[in-house]
Structure 1
Amino acid sequence: MQTEVTFTASDGTTLPGVLTAPTGVTGPGPALVMIYEAFGMTDEMRRVAHDLAADGYTVLIPDLFARGPIKPICVARAMRTAQRGEGRELDDLEAARRWLAELPDVDGDRIGTIGFCLGGSFALLLARTGRYKVSAPFYSGRIDLPRSCPVVASYGGRDITTRGYPELLEARLEAMDVPHDVVTYPEAGHSFFTRTSGMTGSLVARSPLHAEYHAPSAADAHRRIVAFFREHLG
């Protein structure tokens, strides 16, 4: 079941989000804070949340672009926060996590995070906080990790924007002795896990990011992240 919800940010602002709950699950269970890609709250992000809920996870997608009427400014501000590692979007994500943890069907001690593109960078930033049991970034930017929860990360080998980072991330996680599963899919590009339709999809597919859906890689990545979640969230 997918519903529109609201939660209160630390400054008192009411922010919207989308909550997707699994069916046929009784008692408090594991949950995920999901951070969307730069396109925002699309039908494709809702579909991904549905798929994760079908695997037994309550999924909250907070709308980080809801504070301003001009979306490109919101995107640029979020990108700046991701680069700096501090900013209002991270505060809003923490408010979303706290709201999610208080739901009667959610075990507040079993919350993970998953993010795509811009959201992947946020997922890694959240991995440093000590508040999440697991993080699943997809094609994230380069994030410094002084510490981390377990990480299952996925990248496309044809994506020039992340080239070299998966190896650095894996080496860092190994050095910290953090459980991890970092995979680069050689035939996939950026955004291989989701479908981008219309002219935008055609343009990004022809870009150096090779950003288009790649079904075999997406299917394997889904299998991996669910297995990793089962191990670290239950």
Structure 2
Amino acid sequence: MSTRTDSVTVADGVFDLYVWLPERGTGPGVLLIQEIFGVGDHLRGVAEDLARLGYVVAAPDLFWRIRPGWASDADPEGIQRSMEVSAQFDGEQGVADLEAALDHLAGLPEVTGGTATLGFCLGGWLAYFLAARRPDLAALVSFYGSQVPGALDLATQIRCPAQFHFGGSDPYIPREDIARVERAVAAMPDAEIHVEEEAGHAFHNPSPVFHHAAAADRAWRLTEEFLARRLPV
């Protein structure tokens, strides 16, 4: 596995796109989208897991206009600081940046076999919004995207296979909102949803504040199986 940092140019500047290459050097692409904690230890660990599976992984620095290179631990102090940074984030602008990052990823000579997007928390709903705009995606994986329940009109615009994960005991996303997503997903032609009833928010993040080991393991196994079907290496 090797890593590098590419640059992506948009109308108002340039941002970093962190890239991980699998051992063999080529593979399908996965656009990996950060939590409010930036491209930190958790996201880098996920990128390495995906690269070990054979994917070319790219994670953009979405807070580049606010705090370039932002990365924080998911401890109480880091949560507070990350919430302050993310409060300044423009979601519409962020989705536009993701489109530019996806174009860059898809155009890499190392990428073969299509592209997917996978996001956590902030990235979970951004991945969903991105998929509604990009019919060229091969797959969408969204982990506990807080704005998904309020944007279910976009579900009809998603053409790629989709997989959603939520914690049934999430204090930030009420269970009744998740039930609305379940009903919307049931009407989508090629989508699935998995609710870890005993888990709270950000259960995949290894921080003791959030982590639920059993739920994280189950959800990641389902993610690997889904990607293997929809974006085979």
Please indicate the TM-score interval, normalised by the length of the shorter structure.
0.7 to 0.9
SS at match of 1:194: coil
Kindly tell me the number of residue pairs found equivalent between the two proteins. 211
Are 1:139 and 2:144 an aligned pair? Answer: yes
Residue of 113, 116, 131 corresponding to 1:112: 116
Q: Deviations over 1:22-68 (max 9, x none)?
A: 1135xx52111111101112111101110111111111000001123
1:171 corresponds to which of 154, 167, 183: 183
Percent of aligned pairs with the same amino acid: 33
- TM-score in terms of structure 2 length: 0.83
* Contact 2:33/2:124 (<8 A) preserved: yes
Write the mapping of 1:1-234 to structure 2, written as runs, cut at 5 A: 1-11=1-11, 13-24=13-24, 29-69=27-67, 74-78=85-89, 80-81=90-91, 87-107=92-112, 110-129=114-133, 130-141=135-146, 142=149, 143-144=151-152, 145=154, 146-148=156-158, 149-162=160-173, 163-177=175-189, 179-196=190-207, 205=209, 212-234=210-232
Secondary structure of 2:16's match? strand
Aligned-pair distance for 1:147? 1.6
Instruction: Tell me the TM-score normalised to structure 1 length.
Output: 0.82
Structure 1 segments of 4 or more deviating over 3 A? 69-74
Which residue in the other structure is 2:79 paired with? Answer: none
Q: Does the CA contact (< 8 Å) of 2:186 and 2:192 recur in 1?
A: no
8 Å contact 1:126–1:132 — kept in the other structure?
A: no
The one-character-per-residue Cα deviations of 1:197-218 (angstroms, maximum 9, x if unpaired) are xxxx5xxx3xxxxxx1111111
RMSD: 2.0
* Residue pair 2:6, 2:17 contacting (<8 A) in 1 also: yes
Task: Give the direction of change, closer, same or farther, for the CA distance of 1:88–1:100 in structure 2 (3 Å limit).
Answer: same
Q: What does the per-residue CA deviation read over 1:128-179, in whole Å, with 9 as the maximum and x for residues that have no partner?
A: 12131111111112233232121111111110322223332232233232x1
Provide the C-alpha distance between the structure 1 equivalents of 2:203 and 2:43, rounded to a whole number of angstroms.
Answer: 13
* Contiguous gaps of at least 5 residues in structure 1: 82-86, 206-211
